[in-house]
Structure 1
Amino acid sequence: MSNRRAHIGRLGEDHAADYIESLGWVVLERNWRNRYGELDLIAADSDAPDGSTLVVVEVKTRSGRTYDDPVMAVTPEKLVRMRRLARQWLTTQGRGWSRIRFDVISVRLDGFAPEDPAAVRIRHHRGVYE
């Protein structure tokens, strides 16, 4: 992976984590990995109606105009892999969750000034896979 691509991805994940925390959620894990893949963010949504929703978040960041919304890059295969990885993560935890939801956060950065926080656009797609 190129340094620019990794940098853009890290910026997007930082913005997504800040956004999630601004909602009052608790980020439990960032970039959780095992040999089968990676989950970008795992969070607890304590404001959900059931009070105990685990949210697995895929972050898609773009600094160009390839897609109208970076969520377009999330394939059905990626969603299946996220679910499998979430099951694996859950086996390492000592608690259960009444509900698990899969969200995508799309982050669009300015292609010429990706560091400019004023140019960041975030879209939150809730419940893309439940």
Structure 2
Amino acid sequence: MKNTLRLIAAAAVLAIAAPAYAQGGGGGGGMGQMSPEQRTARQKEMLFKDITLDAAQTTKIDAVFAESMKKQQELMQSGGMEAMRSPEGREKMQKLNADRNDAIKAVLTADQKKKFDENVAAMPQGRPRGGL
């Protein structure tokens, strides 16, 4: 009888935990489930918080993000996600982000650059680890 109850309890735990993990409940922070467009929009939202861009700046920054996203996708496709988790892969991705940020700052005014740097510093660094 005890073994039957244990088996039922274990099955119930798995039935609840597996769908939660599959839907991103494993502690990945949700960014992994976003499309590239959604990730870009979220990054822009965080990077340009309290910064008002004019139309010309917006056009230039959109082009910077498009090019950066293209390079990131190429990097991920060339090495796969496992390679991106390696120290070398993370270093390459950080370089791409630094290059993107430098290109963005070239478009901003001095006051906007100051706020942009504050926003970059406030962004989460890396994805939280977790899971089952």
- Report the TM-score range of the alignment, normalised by the length of the smaller protein: 0.3 to 0.5
Q: TM-score, normalised by structure 2?
A: 0.32
TM-score when scaled to structure 1? 0.32
> Which structure has greater strand proportion?
1
Larger Rg: 2
* Bigger relative contact order (CA 8 A; separation at least 6): 2
Higher helix share: 2
